[in-house]
Each structure stands twice: as structure tokens, then as C-alpha cells.
Amino acid sequence: MAGGSMVAELGRILLHRVEHARWFQRPAATPRGVFFGAVLEIRRPGLDHSRMEPADSIARLGFARWYERRLIEGHAWLVSAFVCMIAIAACFEELHFRGSLERLLAYALIIAGAAATGIYGLVRYQRILVEAERLGEQATCRGCGTYARFRLISPSDVRCRKCQNEWRLIDG
């Protein structure tokens, strides 16, 4: 009995330390919706989300990390679209109209799902890269020529860390 209570006490102490650790804490949950398997935020009326979303991420990560992550995410969507094209080609090759109706419907569903996911992936790839390129072109300070060394002062305006020059990064 004493051994069991000692293990329980040790577990309580360790769990107490883990719960307060920075890496253990999870960010606050936001309401989300699902569309074609991709997680999208539910939009609140009256807020300009086109400026708020990149600004929040850039403020949290810094521009260089934000830009790198956007490029990685965009190219992941491109790879997903390519995998969907391979799946469509493989299903078309295996598709025989002489087989059972269930097999035909299964291949048709796989083809339709892969086509929808592939099209969505290509659209996401294009939008992510356009956004990253648009903001990347405006990330150079016009005062001193420093790239990606700024601090957000509002959801659309930034201030250079080197010369304190201010400019609009995200156009409305």
C-alpha cells in the first residue's frame, strides 16, 4: 500500500511540473469548420480578415519564419495535388466496366474525391504563393533597404527595427 501511494504522490508531483511547463500548454481553442478536409477558421462579421490573419501570424512568428512556413504549406498543397493526379491515373487504369457495380462506384468515388482534393490543393497553392509573394515584395524597408527586419505596429503597418521607418505592409 505504501508503494502505491508513493507512486501516486510521485505522479502528482511530476504532473504538477509538466502542466506548468511552457511546452505543455496548448493555445486557446478557436471555433473551426471543415471544408474538403482542410481546416478553415469561422469568420466573424465586421472584421477585415484579409489583413488580420497574416498580421497575427507575422507578429507571433516574425516575417522570415512566417514566409518560410507559408512556402512550405503552399508546396505541401502542390505535392498533395500531384499525389491526387497519380491516384486518378491509377484508378482510371484499373477501371473496367466489365467488373461489379460496387467496384465501379468505388473507383468513381475515389476519382471524384481525388479530383476535388487536387483542385482545392492547386487553388490553395496559388493563393498562398500569391499572398507570400505580395507581402515579400513589400518587406524591404524603403529607408535603409533592410529585408524582413520590422515590427508590426498595427494589423497593416510596420516599423523598421534598424532605422524606425514606417510603411504599410498589408494593403487593404
**pLDDT in the model for residue 6:** 64
* pLDDT single digits (tens) 70-98: 999 999 999 999 999 999 999 988 887 77
* pLDDT single digits (tens) 57-68: 998 999 999 999
**pLDDT in the model for residue 101:** 86
The answer to whether residues 140 and 147 touch, using CB atoms and an 8 Å cutoff, is yes
**pLDDT in the model for residue 98:** 78
The answer to whether residues 115 and 88 touch, using CB atoms and an 8 Å cutoff, is yes
The answer to whether residues 48 and 42 touch, using CB atoms and an 8 Å cutoff, is no
- 155/52 Cα distance (integer angstroms): 6
pLDDT tens-place values along the chain, 172 residues long: 455 666 666 566 655 554 454 444 444 444 444 444 444 444 455 544 444 588 889 989 999 999 999 999 999 999 999 999 999 999 988 887 777 888 888 999 999 999 999 999 999 999 999 999 999 999 999 999 999 999 999 888 999 999 999 999 888 6
Residue 53 amino acid letter:
E
Place of cell 476519382: 111
**pLDDT in the model for residue 130:** 95
Domain ranges of the chain: 48-168
**pLDDT in the model for residue 156:** 87
- 68/8 Cα distance (integer angstroms): 45
Identify the CA nearest to 64 among candidates 7, 115, 140.
Answer: 140
Q: How many helices (H) and strands (E) does the chain have?
A: 4, 5
